[in-house]
Amino acid sequence: MPIRPMAEEDLPQVLAIEKASFTTPWGRWAFLVELKPPGYAFVYEEEGRILGYAVMRIVEDEGHLMNLSVAPPWRKRGIGSDLLRFCIEFCLHKGVSSLWLEVRESNEAAISLYQKMGFAVKGRRKSYYQDTGEDALLMGLSLPRKILQEAKVKAVRTMGPLCILELSLQSEIPFEPGQFVMIEAPGRPLMRPLSIFGLEKKMLKLLLRPVGTGTRALVEVHTGQTLRVLLPLGKGYPMPQGRQKAWLLAGGMGIASLFPLALKLSRKGIPVRLLWGARNSSWFPAPLLWQLTEKSISLELITEDGSMGRKGLITEVLPKEWENATVYACGPKEMMKRILSIIPPHVKVYVSLEERMACGVGACQACVLSGRGGNKLVCRDGPVFEREEIGDSLS
């Protein structure tokens, strides 16, 4: 993410953009004041060049976006949207309940951006702009309140290419399999979404594969370290209706979402068959396999190299008959597309989808899915969807 806190040495570039953008630009002192709380200022930077910035204030639980601009040659490239999403996410994790701003009535492009991000016109400030006497529209965004907790690291358990991060929460929180958390990665500006692998009493477990900078930072934490966690988020998996049996189809890290579902279904006495596919046998740690088989879950492993279980892809070993079955799937996009094309339309199928997201609660509008009946947000309307809801959005 090329967005970082603004520093005093950034001001020459910031002031140049400010002068090119506004008829009554801010001066150096106006920016300096906002570099420390209650002010917060951020710049969008690429290769040492500042392309845009945002400035806001937070007082108690209310935020006020005071300035946002992008250098004229770099407009219409999504930089303004990225800055605004960042500010929304920053406010959310500061416990802000509403974010406000003023915009010129004639600035249709800015108004359109704010409305796209969920802002609504709440009022009008007469003759607000002194240079022209133009009115300002007062726009506001209500931020949903989820539970933001300070969680302490209890352990990081490495199992081949996978790791389980165990965190102790401040209070007990109910959850449904399929829901997720937004968690702070040390040294990273934004939280990241992870499926809830387990949550019992105050112990939260997250399954990770450390491949990027964020996930690597999470597995390098030390015992007793505190991380911020926002949870529980999204919608989980519905239970099968009637006397249906459950088929669970996990591709790679899709097991993180389906593992707690398998355990819950087993506790309820619902027959479970779990197909778990991965590249090789290192993806199948013995402790996880033992937990599943101990619960009398029918488990079939598939590896691309044939090092464990059946050789091939999970989509190549699907059954021909799906009578009295409810299917739950989570995995790579291509796997999901293939599964939906193979399983007959009359079979109930639930899929858990992944999208890039900044806030996790629908405020930033970053995880839009074009489904049947209009756009949906993966974080708020999902991540679990019935196949009829998503239409051809995976195509």
Between CA 327 and CA 339 the distance in angstroms is: 10
DSSP assignment letter at 143: P
CB-CB contact of 314 with 335 (8 Å)? yes
Question: Could you tell me where the DSSP H helices lie in 176-329?
Answer: 213-219, 255-267, 286-294
Options 40, 44, 53, 114, the catalytic residue: 114
Catalytic annotation present for 114? yes
Report residue 7: phi and psi, to 5°. -120, 165
What strands lie across the sheet with 49-59, from one edge to the other? 3-5, 39-46, 49-59, 62-70, 98-104, 136-142, 120-125
Task: Bin 360: left if φ > 0, else alpha if -120 < ψ < 50, else beta.
Answer: left
**172 burial via Cβ count (<10 Å: 0-12, 13-18, 19+):** exposed
Residue 288 vs residues 57, 210, 277: alpha-carbon distances, Å: 47, 18, 14
Q: Residue 344: is the preceding peptide bond cis (ω within 30°)? A: no
Question: Could you tell me where the DSSP H helices lie in the chain?
Answer: 11-21, 28-33, 79-93, 108-116, 213-219, 255-267, 286-294, 333-342, 378-381, 387-390
Options 102, 105, 355, 389, the catalytic residue: 102
Sign of CA dihedral 261, 264, 268, 269: positive
Catalytic annotation present for 102? yes
Between CA 63 and CA 25 the distance in angstroms is: 22
Q: Is 169 helix (H, G, I), strand (E, B) or coil?
A: coil
Report which of 234, 278, 245 is spatially closest to residue 348, judged by C-alpha positions.
245
Active site residues: 102, 114
